[in-house]
Structure 1
């Protein structure tokens, strides 16, 4: 053995814990697959660097534990292969759980038999491969009967969010993934997947349990699933995987939280908390969804289960406080495509939906997707002994087609269902269901690892300290150099000028000590460039673009993907913006390709004399379904003398996997907007639109281009050139 390796006999290891502490494993019991709790390594080999690691792997024997020394292992493309036995596996472990960090361009590949990995942390980097942790070394050497446990992958993202990778991929057979922590995936590709692309990985009987799937922010395109089993090409093959006792915390990458694309899988005792979208039985037959908790907690677009294909069973689940509709409803039973190709929608046949409780569910969509293509209604199915409680006075059930192929019987509801299915319900107006939520799902604290913090909640702003700033040249950029995430820069009254671009990569608030007492100007093409985890809250300032250079396409705030980017939040309130006319196409807010604003909120602010658009979010013109903003809200604000549309939002393509963009205009005025000949606002491909109490004067109406979905704009109390009966919205439909 190379110098620095430490050999320890089994007699000296009586008190050494393996991948899972023995007392914890014993408590979990055989039900959760704690199959290794009574095993101990024969020898422990401590390695200090990558060369020693490779030598240890080369010489590893059954019963060996290769231990990575505490510290940072940078650019570590680790290959862990060997042949252990059920009685004497080969371990790869951290010297101390949570103190071994794989950083930079690092990954881990397992290949062989009876391997166990535990205690590692992947952060501050991204994989150089397609996968961070792979249960195979290459297409020929797969892992079988192996386990990854007590390992963390946190914010380990490719800087280019369009670059696709998957954090964990299971191949082979009889593998286990448990008590791990995966949070913060931003770029394209599922967080975790099980592959069935070869016979050696089919009917695999993998076991995925007690993992913490932390927040997955909105991706802004297809490819943001948290978990996927199979692909459409192999979807008529069984995986026979078990997914149990996992906690899905705010997993909101796209409309499919879990995308099931294979057969014979079991989803049992999982909790979905404030996760937008659904557990979607997209392809594959004969799956079971049982004893799960779907708790939306009133969060927008949270859903339950979407049913497609044959012989699906959804029983004894608790669905509560879910607000999603259409593809994100509490329960969605889809129409299929007659003689469907393998990648479209197979008819629902033989579904059993039984013994579930639906409490305060916004929508239960039956026959969803019904159109000229999806005309195959559900058949040979049953909806029995379910309880539906709705506090808003109406039934959440909507029938989009003929549902005679579903037998309704023994159900209870406090609201009358649609007449066509009423014989299957007993209506009890005072129906109350006393439910012990602990009987469903799994507690958050029972998942993941105890030594790594789970992701908190709350605003990214106003969590730090106040920093007083006085008027001076570059005073704001100088103050930001000493600031930390969540701090507030409180500006004293006076004039501020910035001669440098402020590159911001953390959330910060900039607020005038007194509203309207701060005058702000800047001398570069942009004042703020947002990247990384940047967020900006701007309040109470007067901003002028008069000192900006004579360039086409300046903007006060822009984004960049050069250093990677989280989803940004921007709040502008109680502020004024004027004299942005030094050259053409000057914008207040602009987004670059490959970047996404999670939220933009503009409240009580005025914008005048702008040569471009105030908000310009149209960089994703490839029509792949990507876009630059998830939610845009404009309230009680004023726009005047704007050359372009005041707002441009663009989301091209016909993909149905996303919720946004979501656009709302309330109580705002648009005067002399679109003077270059355009509409007051151009909204291309938005999915949710609200126009309430707005006034358009000396300007053209808003323009809405429909590209996909079934958006229904809400309009109330608006006026066009003083006429409250005139439409403020022109619609162009490209779906035909």
Structure 2
């Protein structure tokens, strides 16, 4: 057993025996005691702040690292029951690794940052509703995990979560999952994203980030709920509903947008060599999937202009809307060498796919219904039926079954994450008479109380 002694604050610090591996379980009841315990932490230690509200007038600095199999855990004693107020917050020192910060309710005025050089840290099960403007949480450190948090309720400019990195690179392998992004109501035209992954001057840097299983509701602070401004990322299995914000590949190349469930939202992209596959996009208006405008052929490393989409594949999506369901913004530089294949595009009237004149796009295997196709396609009722979760799926006898054209091996799992068999079915859903079916994420699946 290892004991910690903190001069002058003994009443605020209760030491509990640790497990045989000498890790300590430390309960503190003041911020001064918390800082003292942070200064002495060793791998495997858990430091728990008792329930209550604490005003932070000075920064709580995390200087001590854990180990891969024995992180330092800094936690609220009970999730959501320790509230941080005041003008300051936690700070990770450069070089700190393997620290978990979890369970706090942040109602303070200072933004939280994981700096470049701090790696393999985790922000988990926290509730962020800060009193300040600017970007609430910024991740610059490699291999950071951001999971099961809630970011909620702001009307000011700035993003809930920014992933960036050092000035000449992107943070690597950041994993953002099972978070709840709720109610950003900034009324300006720009600068209120829920997640911003990079900046224009980072667009050429590969990040290899994965954003998955997050829920976005009322993401109205910007037309971009997820704004990607870096390269080589994966955005998959998220649910967006009741939001004006889209998934937007604003800058960068070679990203994958896969298996997302979008209601009243959509996908827009610029840049090269992206794959937009197996998404379910139901937008009661128009422009559910948008080929972004091209103000230049290929963006330079610091350009803020719109890059023309080159060699982007849009395949095996189910896209529901009114008219101009799949659309192109135009611009001087038209989409080039792109593919639109094996999608179900269902509207109500007008032209369903409206690409700018001069675009070079290969079309194959698409099924359109409910308006004028606008592209070479099979204009036939795909026979979609609504399931208990409100998703429109293939019915037995649908002409989409076993009708996929071409070879798109990267679409080999449908939006239920079931392996497609034989000739793939057109659209996001592979028909099975029985089997696992996915449902949109709800608040029970994400945030601090999620499994």
**TM-score range, shorter-chain basis?**
0.7 to 0.9
Indicate whether 1:414 and 2:369 are aligned: yes
Match of 1:260 among 228, 248, 261: 228
Deviation, structure 1 residue 294 = 0.4
Structure 1 residue aligned with 2:127: 152
The answer as to 2:280 corresponding to 1:318 is yes
1:432 aligns with 2:383: yes
Q: Does 1:249 align with 2:205?
A: no
**Aligned with residue 336 of structure 1, among 266, 289, 294:** 294
Relative to structure 1, is the Cα distance of residues 228 and 306 closer, same or farther in structure 2, using a 3 angstrom cutoff?
A: same
Secondary structure of the 1:93 match is strand
Partner of 1:385: 342
Determine the structure 2 residue equivalent to 1:359.
320
Aligned length: 388
Change (3 A) 1:150 1:78: same
* Contact 2:164 2:171 (C-alpha < 8 Å) held by counterparts: no
Quick one: which of 121, 124, 133 aligns to 2:112?
133
- Paired with 1:321 and 1:212, the residues of 2 have a C-alpha distance of 21
Secondary structure of the corresponding residue to residue 43 of structure 2 = coil
Asked whether the 8 Å contact 1:10–1:43 carries over to 2, the reply is: yes
Return the TM-score normalized by structure 1: 0.50
**Residue 441 (structure 1) shift:** 4.9
In the alignment, structure 1 residue 190 sits paired with structure 2 residue 159: yes
Change (3 A) 1:387 1:114: same
- Aligned position for 2:104: 120
Aligned partners of 2:166, 2:254: CA distance in 1, in Å? 19
Q: 2:398 is matched with which residue?
A: none
DSSP 3-state at the match of 1:183: strand
Q: How does 1:254-333 map to 2 (within 5 A)?
A: 254-296=222-264, 303-323=265-285, 325=286, 329-333=287-291
Picking from 138, 144, 167, the partner of 2:136 is 167
Partner of 2:162, secondary structure, is strand
CA 166–11 in structure 1, closer or farther in 2 if over 3 Å, else same: same
Query: C-alpha displacement at 1:167, in angstroms?
Result: 1.2
Q: Which residue of 1 aligns with 2:428?
A: none
Cα 1:396/1:444, change in 2 over 3 Å: farther
Structure 1 partner of 2:445: 446
270-279 or 358-367, larger mean C-alpha shift: 358-367
CA distance in 1, matches of 2:121, 2:284: 37
Aligned match of 2:47: 66
Q: Aligned with 2:34: secondary structure? A: helix
**Deviation of the 1:293 alpha carbon:** 0.4
TM-score normalized by the length of structure 2 = 0.81
Aligned to 2:358: 402
For the Cα contact (< 8 Å) 2:135–2:160, is it kept in 1? Answer: yes
| SS of residue paired to 1:263 | coil
**Cα deviation, residue 442, structure 1:** 2.9
**3-state SS in 1 of match to 2:16:** coil
Q: Is the 8 Å Cα contact of residues 110 and 135 (structure 1) preserved in structure 2?
A: yes
For 1:211-226, list aligned pairs within 5 A: 211-226=179-194
Look up the SS of the partner of 2:345 in the other structure: strand
Secondary structure at 2:91 match in 1: strand
* Per-residue Cα deviation, 1:584-605 (whole angstroms, up to 9, x for no partner): xxxxxxxxxxxxxxxxxxxxxx
Partner-residue secondary structure (3-state), 2:64:
strand
Quick one: structure 1 residues 73 and 389, their matched pair in 2 at CA, closer, same or farther if it must change by over 3 Å? same
**Residue number in structure 2 paired with 1:9:** 17
Q: Does 1:104 align with 2:66?
A: no
Distance 1:203 1:80, change over 3 A: closer
**What SS class does the counterpart of residue 238 from structure 1 fall into?**
coil
Tell me, what secondary structure is at the counterpart of 1:413? strand
How big is the shift at 1:60? Answer: 1.1
What whole-Å deviation, never above 9, does each CA across 1:388-444 have from its counterpart, x for those lacking one?
122x233432233323x111110001135455x2x2x1011x332236545365333
Task: Within 5 Å, give how 1:600-615 maps onto structure 2.
Answer: none
- The aligned counterpart of 2:418 is none
Structure with higher RCO (Cα < 8 A, 6+ apart): 2
Q: Which residue of 2 aligns with 1:376?
A: 333
Q: Name the structure with the higher strand share.
A: 1
The Cα shift of 1:179 comes to 0.6
Once residues 288 and 231 of structure 1 are traced to their aligned partners in structure 2, the CA distance between those partners, rounded to angstroms, is 18
Corresponding residue SS for 1:143: coil
Partners of 1:105 and 1:347 lie apart in 2 by 44
CA distance in 1 between counterparts of 2:19 and 2:114 reads 32
| Corresponding residue SS for 1:83 | coil
Residues 358, 388 of structure 1: 8 Å contact kept: yes
CA deviations 1:352-395 (Å, max 9, x no partner) are 10000012345435330x3xxx31111111000000122x2334
The gaps in structure 1 that reach 5 residues or longer are 13-39, 159-163, 297-302, 452-736
What's 1:587 paired with?
A: none
Deviation at 1:51, TM superposition (A): 2.0
Cα deviation for residue 122 of structure 1 reads 1.0
- Which structure has the bigger radius of gyration? 1
User: Structure 1 pair 157/281, CA: closer, same or farther in 2 (3 Å)?
Assistant: same
Could you say what secondary structure the match of 2:266 adopts?
strand
Q: For each residue in 1:2-53, what CA deviation from the matched residue of structure 2 results, as whole angstroms up to 9, or x when unmatched?
A: 11322222349xxxxxxxxxxxxxxxxxxxxxxxxxxx98111222222222
TM-aligned CA distance change 1:122 to 1:210, over 3 Å: same
Maintained 8 Å contact 1:304/1:322? no
Moved over 4 A (4+): none
Asked if the contact 2:156–2:185 (Cα under 8 Å) also holds between the matched residues in 1, the reply is no
